[in-house]
Chains A and B, each alone.
Chain A
Amino acid sequence: MKAFSLSLRIAWVHLMAKKRQTLVAMLGVTFGISMFIVMISFMSGVNDYLMDLALDGSPHVHIYNPVKIERPALASTVYDTSKTWIKVHHQRPKLEQTKIRNGQKIVGEIKLMPEVSQVSPSLSSQVFFNNGPLQFSGTMLGIDIETENEMYKLYDKMETGSIEKMLTNREGILLGENLAKKLNVNVGDRVNLSAPSGGSFMLKVVGTFSFGMTLIDETRCYVSIQTAQKILGKPANYFTDINIKLKDYNKSQQLTKQFETMFGYKAEDWQEANASILAGEVIRNTLTYVVAITMLVVAGFGIYNIMNMTVVNKMRDIAILKATGFESKDIVSIFLFQSVIIGISGAMIGVILGAGISYGIDQIPFPARELIKLETFPVTYNIKHYGMAIFFGFLTTLFAGYFPSKKASKIDPVAIIRG
């Protein structure tokens, strides 16, 4: 301990004797660390935003009854297919309802599972909106307003009108913001929509919403499940989808498999539904870390160079220290301390600077208002990232300082002193 405090003292004097050089080395680390933090904070901000978007826009698990296009040819059930070749050209699908049979029972069972926080049966269908002579296609979701509201935080997405009116008004409809614009309707206006099976209905717009995703905002509308059943001419137990919100969304994959085997319907987790967003996340993360770590490595090379120079400049001092009894490990620690001091002080300033720049980016308005709903550039402030920056910064300086220090400890004092 005492030996280290002596090495530290010598290291400190060396650093203070060359303030400018020390500062330059420190700034290298500061820059590397701050950019590391900025990049990671920004990138994880983007990732978190997209993740929220994905989680808000889709249930954790979605159970539905897919239309089976391919089915075994009837002939194959009659003949032994190992002996007979059967070829049926362009086989048509059966008329099949997308309804989930025993739906109420399934919903009841899922509700009792401990991992599940909410279950909402819903009914989805393609519909046409009639605006004078024009027709726009859209997706109608018949939902239980209260549950769905909690699940998707619909109240948060409302642009105009209010969601409560849906509860009192049976004929009420919520339109996506862009859809409302296309139909040129506002809250209080009526829209005319027709079901694929025919028949048209007048509904009253009670609100508009925006998920921040064009695809949804341009096509989706919500009505109560009873209204949807009426529009489609179906009985009261008819629904096509079960949306499930879990207590821990990371368990979705495992539960999805469980649901499929339990109920025999197709279940899809949110990862599958948002595969493109999640694939993007992996790529973004990889890129960010590669660039951020490269920056630290560059800063490390800066320290390596400066430390090498210092060792060359201090050959005489090293020789005299060794001659008067300093061991190799003392010499190593003297120079390692120098680079660690540079590293730690550079990292500290870098963390502050990084947080400052991140905050700055957080304040910049995000330009593409129309496309996605984002007011400023997304930035997260995660203590883990800051810890990681300090850790990696410390590691690089340790590495960068180690080799010159080792070199210093190997200097032969006789060669230096004799000249």
Chain B
Amino acid sequence: MISISAKNITKYFHEPTTFKVLKDLYFEVNKGEFVSLVGKSGCGKSTLLYILSTMDTDYEGSLILNGENVTGKGQDELSRFRNNHLGFVFQFHFLLPEFSVLENVMLPALKLSKFNKDEIEHRAIEKLKLVGMDEYALKSAGKLSGGQQQRVAIARALINDPAVIMGDEPTGNLDKQNSMIVLDILKKLAVENHQTIITVTHDHDFAKQTDRTIEMEDGKIIN
């Protein structure tokens, strides 16, 4: 089953001058596949990821995520789609510092409100156990180390059991040991839960461990 299907994705940057960053990209990712996007800085891989994330809607071509055509949908509809089907892990952890670890994980689920609050809390603890952060549940998110924050961010990305998890250099700011922990968690998700994972990375060791590596150069997929 195909999880991500991108057809003829083309994108321009208009500042400072009009420049074609993505040139007619075409690719598909299967469900449960762990894919890494690699390439030099400025090749457009992050730009592509943010188009796949549905947050960037300024592109040409068509994008089908989890069997649903997301091209041309309104912002609020896309927000709901992300809430339901996508999970994100960013380079700079991006937790809400005033909230506890548990609350950070719970927020997207509370927004979705598929379950009641007790259920959500229970699930959040489960996800934190998965990333080995359950004992920090009641700590303030702002007080954790970088590696810990990244693991919490993964737990948050998982809370609504998304079909696709996207990472923008999720290990970019972590040391070797923490990178390995994060990588192992992501691999486990792909194998055990059949969740599709697509991450942008600079780290070749990381990329080697994934099922497939898509290499980009000058806005094109070369490998």
Listed stretches A128-136, A266-274, A312-320; interface member: A312-320
Interchain CA distance A418-B110 in the complex, whole Å? 26
Judge whether B110 and A6 touch: CB under 8 Å: yes
* Binary A-proximity of B79-96 (CB < 8 A = 1, otherwise 0): 111111000101010111
Known contacts: A316-B94, A322-B55, A326-B111. The answer to whether A414 contacts B50 by CB under 8 A is: yes
Bound-state CA distance A322–B55 (Å) is: 9
Bound-state CA distance A323–B108 (Å) is: 10
* A3/B113 in contact, CB under 8 A: yes
Among B82, B84, B95, B113, point to the contact of A323 (Cβ < 8 A).
Answer: B82
Interface residues contributed by chain A, number (CB under 8 Å)? 28
- B75 near A: Cβ within 8 Å? yes
Residues of A near B56 (CB, < 8 A) are 414
Q: Bound state CA distance, A417 and B98, in angstroms?
A: 19
From B46, B75, B111, contact of A324 by CB (8 A):
B111
Closest beta carbon of chain B to A300's beta carbon, Å: 26
A161 on the B face (CB < 8 A): no
A92 CA to B69 CA, complexed, in Å: 101
Residues on the B chain within 8 Å of A413, using CB = 55
B55:A324 contact, CB within 8 angstroms: no
Given contacts A324-B83, A324-B88, A325-B80, contact A417 B111 (CB under 8 A): no
Is B121 among interface residues, defined by CB-CB distance under 8 A?
Answer: no
Query: Are the CB atoms of B75 and A325 closer together than 8 Å?
Result: no
Asked if A323 and B111 sit within 8 Å, CB to CB, the answer is no
What residues of chain B lie closer than 8 Å to A218, measured between beta carbons? none
* A335 nearest CB across to chain B (Å): 14
Whole-angstrom CA separation of A325 from B160 in the bound complex = 11
- A14 CB-CB contact with B under 8 Å: yes
Instruction: Flag whether A330 is at the interface (Cβ < 8 A).
Output: yes
A322 touches B96 (CB 8 A): no
**For the complex, is A329 an interface residue (Cβ under 8 Å from B)?**
yes
Chain A residues 295 to 327 lying within 8 A of chain B, measured CB to CB, are 316-317, 319-327
Residues in A neighbouring B171, C-beta threshold 8 A: none
A17 at interface (Cβ–Cβ under 8 A)?
yes
CA distance A10 to B96 in the complex (A): 10
A13 located at the interface, meaning its Cβ lies under 8 Å from any Cβ of chain B in the complex: yes
Give A221 to B88 CA distance when docked, in angstroms.
92
Determine if B99 and A325 form an interchain contact, defined as CB atoms under 8 angstroms apart.
no
In Å, the complex CA distance between A328 and B77 comes to 10
B76 at the interface (CB under 8 A from A): yes
Cβ proximity bits A389-413 to B, threshold 8 Å, 1 near / 0 not: 0000000000000000000000011
Compute how far the CA of A10 lies from the CA of B92 in the bound complex, rounded to whole angstroms: 21
Q: Are B96 and A317 in contact (CB under 8 A)?
A: yes
In the bound complex, do residue B111 and residue A325 qualify as a contact, i.e. CB atoms below 8 Å apart? yes
Residue of A nearest to B50 (CB): A414
CA A316 to CA B92, docked complex, whole Å: 10
Decide: B107 and A324 in contact? CB cutoff 8 A: yes
Is B90 touching A417 in the complex (CB atoms < 8 A)? yes
Q: How far is the CB of B158 from chain A (nearest CB, A)?
A: 12
How long is the Cα–Cα vector from A330 to B76 in the complex, in angstroms?
10
Is there an interface contact between B80 and A327, defined as CB atoms closer than 8 Å? yes
Q: Is A71 interfacial (CB 8 A cutoff)?
A: no
**B83 contacts across to A, CB distance below 8 A:** 324-326
List, in ascending order, chain B residues with CB within 8 A of A17's CB. Answer: 98
Judge whether A418 and B111 touch: CB under 8 Å.
Answer: no
Determine whether A384 belongs to the interface, using a CB cutoff of 8 Å to chain B: no
For residue A31, give the distance in angstroms from its CB to the closest CB of chain B.
28
Please give, as numbers and ranges, the residues of chain A lying within 8 Å of B84 by CB-CB distance: 325
A325 and B79: CB pair below 8 A?
Answer: yes
Residues of B within 8 A of A327 (CB): 75-76, 79-80
Question: For the complex, is A2 an interface residue (Cβ under 8 Å from B)?
Answer: yes
B33 beta carbon closer than 8 Å to chain A: no
Instruction: List A contacts of B123 (CB < 8 A).
Output: none
State the CA gap A114–B160 with chains docked (Å): 75
Output the residue of A16, A320, A324, A412 with the most chain B CB within 10 A.
Answer: A324
Query: Is B53 located at the chain interface by the 8 A CB criterion?
Result: yes
Closest-by-CB residue of B relative to A317 is B96
Find chain A residues with CB under 8 A from B96 CB: 10, 13, 317, 320-321
* C-alpha spacing A192/B55, complex, angstroms: 100
Complex alpha-carbon distance, A328 and B76, angstroms = 7
For B15-50 the 0/1 string (1 means CB < 8 A from A) is 000000000000000000000000000000010001
- Whether the Cβ atoms of B55 and A323 lie closer than 8 Å is yes
Q: List 30 A-B contacts (CB under 8 A).
A: A6-B111, A6-B113, A10-B96, A17-B98, A317-B96, A319-B94, A320-B90, A322-B55, A323-B55, A323-B82, A323-B90, A324-B83, A324-B156, A325-B79, A325-B80, A325-B81, A325-B83, A325-B160, A326-B79, A326-B83, A328-B79, A412-B55, A413-B55, A414-B55, A417-B90, A417-B168, A418-B46, A418-B50, A418-B168, A419-B92
Other than the given A322-B55, A323-B90, 9 more pairs (CB < 8 A) read A2-B113, A3-B111, A316-B94, A320-B90, A320-B96, A325-B111, A413-B55, A414-B50, A414-B56
Counting from the closest, the 8 A-B pairs by CB-CB distance are A325-B83, A17-B98, A324-B108, A327-B76, A327-B79, A320-B94, A325-B82, A2-B113
* A-binding residues in B (CB < 8 A): 46, 50, 53, 55-56, 75-76, 79-84, 88, 90, 92, 94-96, 98-99, 107-108, 110-113, 156, 160, 168
